[in-house]
Amino acid sequence: MNGVHDMGGQHGLGVVIPEAEGSAFHAVWEARAHALVIAAPTRGNIDAGRHQREKIPGASYLTMTYYERWFEALCQMLFAGGFVSADELATGNANPGAAKATPRLNAVDVPIAMAWQGSYLRESVAEPAFAVGDRVRAKMMNPIGHTRLPRYARGRTGVVENCHGSHVFPDSHAHGGGEDPCALYTVRFTTRELWGPDASPRDTVSLDLWEPYLERA
């Protein structure tokens, strides 16, 4: 979707304010919100979570902090998944007689869960269409659902610099369409191709793009 989350290349969004290395969280509530997202029964589909955050209305998205977005998306997913009701979200109180569940993640399992080395690589179902060195163009496309092809790369031509095998395809996975693994490539674009002749002649931007985003150039 062409949401405000797709920020690459926009002007007018402020200056970068550096920050010293320090604690992971800036407030206690941020730490609790982070932990809730990881422990909640809605965990498990990173693409659905990202898409939920993208669906926050644009004007709100831009005024919310990162963890405010995480929290908002968590509430919506808990509601959509039937884990909490609108009344419960309105009052903060469990409905009388509501079922008592069993947590999916217990404290004793946290160290293993945190260190668990997952993978988004899947067995390839087809030969990759492109090889390192191939010139490819990011398709001009404007899907209304989740996608990881930023607007600033659409229609632009780059060179395949790495092939990663088949990875879970977010455009399907975010919408309950299964993992639909597709070949994933790193594609390097010159900044002049992306931004025009005023850009530095030497610089490049590399993006990780799935095969359905690409066509031979």
Partner 1 sequence: MEPSTTTLDSPRALVGGRRICQPVLMHDHDHDDHHGHSHGQEPASDIALRVKSLESLLVEKGLVDPAALDAIVDFYEHKVGPRNGARVVAKAWSDPDYRTRLLADATAAIGELGYTGGQGEHMIAVENTASIHNLVVCTLCSCYPWPVLGLPPAWYKSSAYRSRAVIDPRGVLAEFGTVLDADTEVRVWDSTAEIRYLVIPERPADTAGMDEAQLGALVTRNGMIGTARL
Alpha-carbon distances, residue 200 vs 155, 157, 185, 207 (angstroms): 20, 17, 24, 18
Tokens for 42, please give them. 């809605």
Footprint of partner 1 on 47-76 (CB under 8 A): 50, 53, 55, 57-60, 62, 66-68, 71-72, 74-76
Tell me, what amino acid is at 150?
P
Query: Checking DSSP bridges between strand 182-190 and strand 157-167, what pairing results, if any?
Result: antiparallel
- State the Cα–Cα distance between residues 140 and 153, nearest whole angstrom: 9
The verdict on 157 binding partner 1 (CB under 8 A) reads no
Footprint of partner 1 on 110-149 (CB under 8 A): 110-111, 114-121, 148-149
The residue among 11 and 216 lying less far from partner 1, judged by its C-beta, is 11
To partner 1, the closest distance from the beta carbon of 149 in angstroms equals: 7
Which of 44, 45, 48, 89 binds partner 1 (CB under 8 A)? It is 89
Q: DSSP label at 13?
A: S
Count residues near partner 1 (CB under 8 A).
112
The verdict on 205 binding partner 1 (CB under 8 A) reads yes
Q: DSSP label at 187?
A: E
63 bridge partner residues: none
To partner 1, the closest distance from the beta carbon of 131 in angstroms equals: 18
